[in-house]
Amino acid sequence: MKLSDLATRLDLKVYTAGTPLERPVLGGYASDLLSDVIGHGRKDDLWVTMQIHPNIVAVAVLKELAGIVLVNGREPAPETLQQAEREGVPVLGTRLGAFELVGRLYGLGVKGS
Amino acid sequence: MELRRIRADLHIHTCLSPCGELSMSPRTVVDRARAAGLDIVAVTDHNTTENAAAVIQAARGTGLAVLPGMEMTTAEEVHILGLFDPGTELGPFQAAVYRNLPDVPSKKKFVKDQVLVDAADYVTGFSPRCLFGATRFSVQEAVDLIHGHGGLAIACHVDRDSFSIVSQLGFIPPGLRLEAVEVSPRLTIAEAREAFGPFDPLPVVRFSDAHQPEEIGRATTDFLVASPNLEEIRMALAGEDGRRIIPS
Beta partners for A33? none
Per-residue pLDDT tens digits for A87-102:
999 999 999 999 999 9
Beta strand B123-126 with B79-83 is unpaired
Q: Which domain holds residue A75?
A: 3-107
Residue B139 dihedral angles phi and psi, to the nearest 5°? -55, -45
Number of domains in chain A: 1
> Looking at residue A71, what is its pLDDT?
98
Nearest Cβ partner for B76 among A38, A51, A58: A51
User: Do you find a cis peptide bond into A90, omega within 30 degrees of 0?
Assistant: no
CATH number, domain of B153, equals 3.20.20.140
Residue A68 has pLDDT above 80, yes or no: yes
State the pTM of this model: 0.90
The Cα–Cα gap between B150 and B82 comes to 10
> Looking at residue B104, what is its pLDDT?
79
Chain B residues in contact with A75 (beta carbon < 8 A): none
> Looking at residue B106, what is its pLDDT?
66
If one counts every other C-beta atom within 10 angstroms of the C-beta of residue B46, the result is 24
> Looking at residue B134, what is its pLDDT?
92
Q: Which domain holds residue B140?
A: 4-246
Instruction: State the count of interchain CB pairs (< 8 A) between A and B.
Output: 34
CATH number, domain of A60, equals 3.40.1390.20
What helix, strand, coil percent values describe chain B, rounded to 5?
A: 25, 25, 50
Task: Identify whether A112 is part of a domain.
Answer: no
Element spanning B230, H or E: helix B230-238
Q: Give the pLDDT of chain B (248 residues) as one tens digit per residue.
A: 799 999 999 999 999 999 899 999 999 999 999 999 999 999 999 999 999 999 999 999 999 999 999 999 999 999 999 999 999 999 999 999 999 998 877 666 668 889 999 999 999 999 989 898 899 999 999 999 999 999 999 999 999 888 999 999 999 998 999 999 999 999 998 898 888 888 888 999 999 999 999 999 999 999 999 999 999 999 999 999 999 999 87
Chain B residues in contact with A37 (beta carbon < 8 A): 170
- State whether residue B122 sits within 8 Å of chain A by CB: no
Per-residue pLDDT tens digits for A29-62:
999 999 899 999 999 999 999 999 999 999 999 9
Complex-level ipTM beyond the 0.90 threshold: no
| Å between A55 CA and nearest CA of chain B | 6
Edge-to-edge order in the sheet of strand A67-70: A13-14, A91-93, A67-70, A45-49, A27-30
The Cα–Cα gap between B140 and B177 comes to 8
- Could you write out the DSSP letters of every residue in B95-144? HHHHHTS------TTTS---EEE-TTS-EEEE--S-TTSPPS--HHHHHH
Number of domains in chain B: 1
Task: Identify whether A113 is part of a domain.
Answer: no
A35 with B168: Cβ contact below 8 A: yes
A59 with B76: Cβ contact below 8 A: no
If one counts every other C-beta atom within 10 angstroms of the C-beta of residue B116, the result is 18
- State whether residue B227 sits within 8 Å of chain A by CB: no
Chain A residues in contact with B171 (beta carbon < 8 A): 34, 55, 58
